[in-house]
Structure 1
Amino acid sequence: MITATVPVTAFQQNCTILMCEATHRAAIVDPGGDIERIIAKLDAMGAKPEKILLTHAHLDHVGGTAELAKRYQLPIEGPHKGDNFWIQALPQQAQMFGLPPVEMFTPDRWLTGGEQVTVGDVTLDVIHTPGHTPGHVVFVQPEQKLALVGDVIFNGSIGRTDFPQGNHADLISSIRDKLFPLGDEIEFVPGHGPRSTFGHERKTNPFVADKRG
């Protein structure tokens, strides 16, 4: 699997393209906006868009979803249905940030965690990771030791929980009880900023590092 990250919008959100090397079929993860930039990267990779995968439904992660889905006739998979209220509020979110109108959409497949999604011949595990939003999910490719974690954890930080239905205790549990047990060697692509590994964050992240004593 080949990955490429395209920072989009004023929020510099990491939209990630996952392409199966065997089939060149690709999933676009969290297309927050700047659709033409995403399309240019798909073309440069020789990728054939197959679906859209969403970690959660904040505007900067899903703002380009409806437009991209229509352009390529793509199914939308994710997030968990707990984030439906955020999708319904997309027009208000855009207005609040002074951005162009954003269209609502309905995912073709809500994810619950414990199932899998595919990209060409590649399979990814789905983990429900509430906290930043109630319906947040993470996509993990075990053989490649790669995770797409949205806004759950960052290089040196963790996701905000002061938005509606955010929950700090749930977020910490999602990280420590669901993500860290996957292994220190797992590299992750966060929703913003540079990549890291779970092992590095367990040692150095001031919010979730292992207790010393």
Structure 2
Amino acid sequence: MADSSPVVRELDIGNTVYDITWQAADEGPDITKGERHRTYFFDLPGDVPTLVDTCFQNRVEYLFEGIEQIGVEPERLLISHRHLDHVGAFEAVVDRYDPETWVHEADNVTEIDDYGIDIQTEPDHLFTGGETIGRWEVVHVPGHSPGNSVFVDEEAGIAHMADTVCGSDRRGLPKGYLLHPPQATHTNQPPESAVAAEKNLERLLDYEFEVALLNHGSPVFENASEKLERYVNFESNFSGPGQSIHANDRNTIEADALYSRLDEE
């Protein structure tokens, strides 16, 4: 990808969904090199054209060019969470397209003051989780940020997961699976937020979806909800009675109790 043009790819998933890669892994400042950055654009039947998240403010012209290549302007903007690569160009997108905007109340873009962001435009709607926005059901999965959310369209078999999980190839493994993002990505969050973010993945197990769209690492295009369930419930799926080093309530066994049990065996 040249530094003068985005890459726009229509995904072969049976619905009109576009991946706009507005920064390749070898572009941008040193702090983001090694990571590709993308935004997803949806033009689904019975719904308005929807952009989920924006981009870094200094890459907004690449996002605009990608939208122009698609040839459809967004009428709705959903924000998954408050990090800079997702909300940085919020006002620029609003100024250009005037979409209806939706943001979780815990990640209200006008209240962010710890990322060098100064957004003055109030969102049209603040959601809390559990709402239906067009075809999308909002699932609040806090941890990665206070308002971090996943958007699920079970009819289309799609979950837009943003940074809630990442593609396994992000961590040097074969692609096609889901992993919890590294703790270092929980920007300006306390250490315990990384633990909460992984535990809160359980909230997604009530949903079925074939495709998990991710912002970092390769998306998963087959059996995504099943793979997520295996990841979240790894202990109950792969451990028989007496094989786990964790208690049934998932609290870690105290070291003395663990060692005495091992001695007995």
Range into which the TM-score falls when normalised by the shorter chain:
0.7 to 0.9
Instruction: Check whether the contact 1:132–1:171 (CA below 8 A) recurs between aligned residues.
Output: yes
Matched, 1:159 2:171: no
Structure 2 unaligned blocks of 5 or more = 1-14, 169-178, 240-265
Match of 1:97 in 2: none
Cα distance, 1:49 vs structure 2: 1.6
Deviations 1:115-163 (A, max 9, x none): 1112xxxx11111110101111111111111011121111222134543
Say which one has the larger Rg. Answer: 2
Calculate the TM-score normalised by the size of structure 2. 0.65
Letter in 2 for 1:107: P
Cα distance in 2 for partners of 1:87, 1:150 equals 21
Would you identify which runs of 4 or more consecutive aligned residues in structure 1 move more than 6 Å? none
* Equivalent residue, structure 1, for 2:176: none
Shift of 1:200: 2.8
Letter paired with 1:127: V
CA distance in structure 1 between the partners assigned to 2:123 and 2:149 by the alignment = 14
More contact order relative to length (CA 8 Å, sep ≥ 6): 1
Describe the SS at the equivalent of 1:48.
Answer: coil
Q: Could you say which residue in structure 1 is the equivalent of 2:18?
A: 4
Task: Give the number of aligned pairs.
Answer: 193
1:154-176 CA distance string (max 9 Å, x none):
1222134543345133212321x
Contact 1:7–1:15 (CA<8 Å) still a contact in 2? yes
Partner of residue 116, structure 1: 132
Name the CA distance, whole Å, in 1 between partners of 2:181 and 2:90.
22
Q: Could you say if the C-alpha distance between residues 133 and 86 of structure 1 is closer, same or farther in structure 2, counting changes exceeding 3 Å?
A: farther
1:30 corresponds, among 32, 53, 72, to: 53
With structure 1 as the length reference, what TM-score do the two structures score? 0.79
Q: What is the alpha-carbon root mean square deviation over aligned residues?
A: 2.4
Q: CA deviation at 1:85?
A: 7.4
Match of 2:122 in 1: 106
Equivalence map 1:60-71=2 (5 Å): 60-71=85-96
Q: In structure 1, what residue type is equivalent to 2:129?
A: G
Quote the residue 2:243 is aligned against: none
Alignment check: 8 A CA contact 1:76 1:107 kept:
yes
Instruction: Note the C-alpha offset of 1:86.
Output: 8.3
| Amino acid in structure 1 at the alignment position of 2:187 | F
Q: Identify the residue that residue 136 of structure 1 maps to in structure 2.
A: 148
2:244 corresponding residue in structure 1: none
CA change 1:168–1:88 in 2 (3 A) is closer
Structure 2: how far apart are the matches of 1:106 and 1:178?
A: 28
- Distance, in Å, in 2 between the alignment partners of 1:57 and 1:87 is 10
- How far apart are 1:62 and its partner, in Å? 0.8
Residue 189 of structure 1: aligned partner = 213
User: Which residue is 1:99 aligned to?
Assistant: none
Assess if the C-alpha contact under 8 Å between 2:87 and 2:109 holds in 1. Answer: no
Distance 2:144 2:130 in 1: 19
Residue 168 in 1 paired to residue 191 in 2?
Answer: no
The residue type equivalent to 1:44 in the other structure is: Q
Give the share of equivalent positions with the same residue, in percent: 22
- Amino acid aligned to 1:170: A
